[in-house]
Structure 1
Amino acid sequence: MKLLTYYFYCLLFTMMSCINTENKLRVEVFETSAKGNQLTKITEFLDSDTKVTIKLTPEQTFQTITGFGGAFTESSAYLLNKLSKKNRDTILRAYFAKEGARYSLTRTHMNSCDFSLTNYSYSPVEGDKNLEHFTIEEDRDDLIPMIKDAIAISEDGFKIFASPWTAAPWMKDNNHWVGGKLLPEYYDTWALFFSKYLDAYKAEGIDIWGFTVENEPHGNGNNWESMHFSPKEMTDFVQFHLGPKLENDGYGDKIILGYDQNRAGLKEWVDEMYRDEASSKYFDGTAIHWYESTYDYFPEALQYAHYKAPDKYLIETEGCVDSEIPKWQDDAWYWSKEATDWGWDWASEAEKYLHPKYAPVNRYARDIIGCLNNWVDGWVDWNMVLDRQGGPNWFKNWCVAPVIVDPDADEVYFTPIYYIMAHFSKYIRPEAKIIGHENSDDTLMVTAAINPDDTTTVVIFNETEVPKNINLSVNGKTVDFAIDAKAIQTVVIPKA
């Protein structure tokens, strides 16, 4: 009898162990934290009195991801050329290699921008309406080699879209690099400019995925290169000039993104861009920036833009910590609330609340998660590399980049922002689907996606001072772990 009882309990224990194993969710957890983790794989977790439940609902799907990445600028490319080959390769591999951040969506500028060494245009000859003297010679020393090297390193490949800050002054009503509008007699010339650009870059072996029509069409306070469009002017230019020109020249498959400025202005722009079938035909999506506020991600505006054109792209095409000289080798600063932006000093009193002092890490993590939870399908950082001054920038518009370098000393600093970007770009891949989730703690930000290879990625951001225990569940399976205070985690669930 005792022997039978023994066998019974052994069988029961075995059955319970199998049930527990079957219900156990296998995960890998990677963390970046104020305490010093840098996309570090975590296997041991601190215990906490704060309990959070997160339930994934994969049957609830949202947008398809286009990608994450940063911008190729003349300033970044120039700095890379001043570094040793070893450090140059280290940076490019950190952004594009499989073991790095695996950037999948990138931007570059057509003609010069503020993060150029000087003003220049690919159409330097005044009155050249047929662009017979079009040239990308200015890009050959720095920008083109950086892009080509990134292409060679990337195993998965990445998309590139290009943005003009301005046409050459001779095409504008104020004959100046800054401000003014494109003269109507040059609308066809300017459309031709885009086609010529595609030809020239194709000849270099660089495939351009698409364009934004104009960087910041409201202008930038008339500080650096800009060219103004109203919503109607841009829509008319695309519908009657740019769209047909690209189509006629065999580039009808190239992506055209309208607007390309702050989210607060979305409604009037998408209403005009998608005013009817004829205009909507040529717009593939809407581009947005975050400078209206790096604290508020404007969920209502994002929702409006999506439902206005649910089958179109909605891509955040530029964001950075601006109006700041980056701190060198000081990770703590990137986690502190001492950083400001342009609005801290310059916003109107009525809009000051949108520009509080706010930690750079928090800005990126909150904004990307907030965007992903409100239909945004791509998120692109600004410069990939800047120097210790936050330049070079011909206007002295200093900003922060994920990677800061000292070219004189040949030193490289990967700021915490680099690791924040990698939490998304490395683990949420193009064609992933954002899925639903339930989160019991509204101080914790969460987003989740199913990748094309059927792995699931969950990103959790805890900006509080309190560590939190997490119970994560999906499809009846659960796992318990913890997130530290002031930390971001990417949780990878392998294919079932």
Structure 2
Amino acid sequence: MNKQLLSAILLTFSIAGFSQQSSKAFSAKGKEVKIYTTAENTKLRLSETGTAVFTASKQPLETEPSIFVNPKKQFQTFMGIGGAITDASAEVYAKLPKDQQKELIDAYYSQQKGIGYSLIRTTIHSSDFSSSSYTYVAENDKELKTFNIDHDRKFRIPLIKEALKTADKQTQLYASPWSPPAFMKDSKSMLKGGKLAPDSYQSWANYYVKFIQAYEKEGLPIWGVTVQNEPMATQSWESCIFTAEEERDFLKKYLGPTLEKNGLGAKKIVIWDHNRDLMVYRANVIYADPEASKYAWGMGFHWYETWNGGKPMFDNVKLVNESFPDKKLMFTEGCIEAFDAAKYQLWANAERYGNNMINDFNNGTVAWTDWNILLDEKGGPNHVKNFCFAPIHGDLTTGKLIFTPSYYYIGHFSKYIRPEAKRIATSASRSQLQSTSFLNKDGKMVTVVMNQSDGELKYNLIVDDAETVLTIPAHAMQTLVY
């Protein structure tokens, strides 16, 4: 190759590289920011509350609360936000009037009319949020010859199909098991813990394959599965215990190879699917084994580690992210426990969502999934009376939907942050303010700010070398789009 040709090629690559860098550079200077607000003791619910314009930034004073956004520092790629379509959600949905059914679908899955969910979790046969326990096979059918999903065709599958019709094309559906069938367990019961019997490991791995194939035959693509919901919890409902070592071995010897052998190797497998408290140990054990780790896309986690009176353990999420940066983190379940109809509009419930979502995203989480999208006016149905809150309830005595503040707080993220966005370095100068930012593929920056204090706060939004001054009401959430 002559020198002139080589120089031309190098120049072309240099220009292309410069163009690529230039196209990625984000500047807020001169831009307008749109402000959307939800606030306690007001009628503001994801309401557009004004605009502001960025000017040149200056050194903020200690007396000036500030949010700092650095577009040059980008982190994980955002996958989506969503909720679980359980049997309970589907049964309540089926009992609602047609106009309320449409309102619910639009409220969750339309980005224009609602909050644009782009993730759906569902269960592999029953969970506590089913009207009764059931499986997809006849008793003692280890060969799974009787496998069928007729149960799900009545309520659950129709609701998932309706959701996907309205949702973004990038919406992903994944599934989690609560327990193997009773005959596969050492306890011979789906309830109250117990373990998968050693002679049922292969049969249970085959069960996932059958489930994926059956759902996909219905036109419902399965993105992936979690290995086991809450594998260290002995619950009064469907549950099954896997130690870290047992989950590792089931993953590497049975589940991973079985999916691969059946042409499902591209399906994502998510480990743990339990609280933040023990997630570091689970990651250390499974990811240390190359044969197990190769099958694990990442780790799922829940927020219920506060059951013992402690606080959310966000640092454990951060540590797993730092220790295993090639693995993904996905929040797979959270809800407000202990249903009480008097607390439908309790603002602290929404702030729990805001606090968890901001911290989880800032610690590397790529996807965030709420629990039931819909429950009835009793917090169910639930066959063991484990009644909980959902962001939206369907009051079957009136046939009307009840929207809680949690719905709007989740919406401040899900409506504006879209799949494939990149998280951007963001921090606050006051503990009363929490914030996270994402840069969407369309070039729009989204900064979410939460004020948990009792007073209105005036604050600087400083984005690199540009700033604007904004005000957030007491106990409020704001989404800033610019």
Per the normalisation by structure 2, the TM-score is: 0.89
Confirm whether residue 135 of structure 1 aligns to residue 148 of structure 2: yes
Deviation at 1:23, TM superposition (A): 4.2
Match of 2:222 in 1: 208
Q: Give the C-alpha shift of residue 279 in structure 1.
A: 1.4
2:121 partner amino acid: R
Select which of 55, 58, 73 maps to 1:60: 73
Q: Aligned match of 2:480 in 480, 487, 491? A: 491
Q: Quick one: distance in 1 between partners of 2:183 and 2:427?
A: 55
Matched residues in 2 for 1:87 and 1:158: separation?
Answer: 23
Instruction: Write the mapping of 1:64-75 to structure 2, written as runs, cut at 5 A.
Output: 64-75=77-88
- State the one-letter code of the partner of 2:128: D
**In structure 2, what is the equivalent of residue 29 of structure 1?**
35
Decide whether aligned partners of structure 1 residues 70 and 326 sit closer, same or farther in structure 2, where only a CA change above 3 A counts: farther
For 1:448 and 1:248, the matched residues in 2 are separated by 41
Asked whether the equivalents of residues 51 and 468 of structure 1 are also in contact (C-alpha less than 8 Å), the reply is: no
2:47 to 40, 43, 50: 40
Equivalent residue letter for 2:194:
G
Matched, 1:315 2:330: yes
Cα deviation, residue 278, structure 1: 1.4
Are positions 1:79 and 2:92 aligned together?
yes
Gaps of 5+ in 2: 1-27, 53-61
User: 5 Å matches for 1:34-433?
Assistant: 34-36=40-42, 37-43=44-50, 51-99=64-112, 100-126=114-140, 128-178=141-191, 179-220=193-234, 222-293=235-306, 296-327=311-342, 331=345, 334-335=346-347, 359-433=348-422
Contact 2:351/2:409 (<8 A) preserved: no
SS in 1 for 2:368: strand
Work out whether 1:467 is the aligned partner of 2:482.
Answer: no
Equivalent-residue separation in structure 1 for 2:119 and 2:29 (angstroms)? 37
Q: Give the drift of 1:224.
A: 0.5
Cα pair distance change 1:319/1:149, threshold 3 Å: same
1:431 CA displacement: 1.3
Within 5 A, what are the aligned runs for 1:4-15? none
Tell whether the 8 Å contact from 1:25 to 1:473 is kept in structure 2 after alignment: no
Q: Which deviates the most, 241-250 or 267-276?
A: 267-276
**Number of residue pairs matched by the alignment:** 441
Aligned-partner Cα distance in 1 for 2:283–2:340: 35
In percent, how many aligned pairs have the same letter?
A: 38
- The residue aligned with 1:17 is none
CA displacement, residues 127-178 of structure 1 (integer Å, 9 cap, x when unaligned): x222111011110111000000011111434111100000110000010111
Aligned-residue offset at 1:373: 1.0
TM-score of the aligned structures, taking structure 1 as reference length: 0.86
Instruction: Name the CA distance, whole Å, in 2 between partners of 1:327 and 1:148.
Output: 33
- Superposed CA offset, 1:386-432 (max 9, x none): 11111110100010000011123211111111101111111111111
**8 Å CA contact retained: 2:212, 2:222:** yes
Equivalent residue of 1:30, what SS?
strand
Q: Distance in 2 between matches of 1:196 and 1:156?
A: 25
Q: Is the 8 A contact 2:377 2:396 kept in 1?
A: no
Q: Is the 8 A contact 1:50 1:469 kept in 2?
A: no
In structure 2, how many angstroms separate the alpha carbons of the residues matched to 1:492 and 1:238? 42
> For residue 373 of structure 1, what is the amino acid of its counterpart?
N
Q: Which moved more, 1:24-33 or 1:87-96?
A: 24-33
> Which range moves more in the overlay, 236-245 or 425-434?
425-434
Cα distance in 1 for partners of 2:290, 2:319 equals: 18
Cα distance in 1 between the residues matched to 2:426 and 2:176: 35
Q: Which residue of 2 aligns with 1:347?
A: none
Q: Deviations over 1:270-299 (max 9, x none)?
A: 011101321110011001000002873323
Measure how far apart 1:308 and its partner are: 2.6
What is the root-mean-square deviation in Å for CA atoms of aligned residues? 1.7
Q: Which runs of 5+ in 1 are unaligned?
A: 1-21, 336-358
**What code does the residue aligned with 1:199 have?**
Q
Counterpart amino acid of 1:40? S
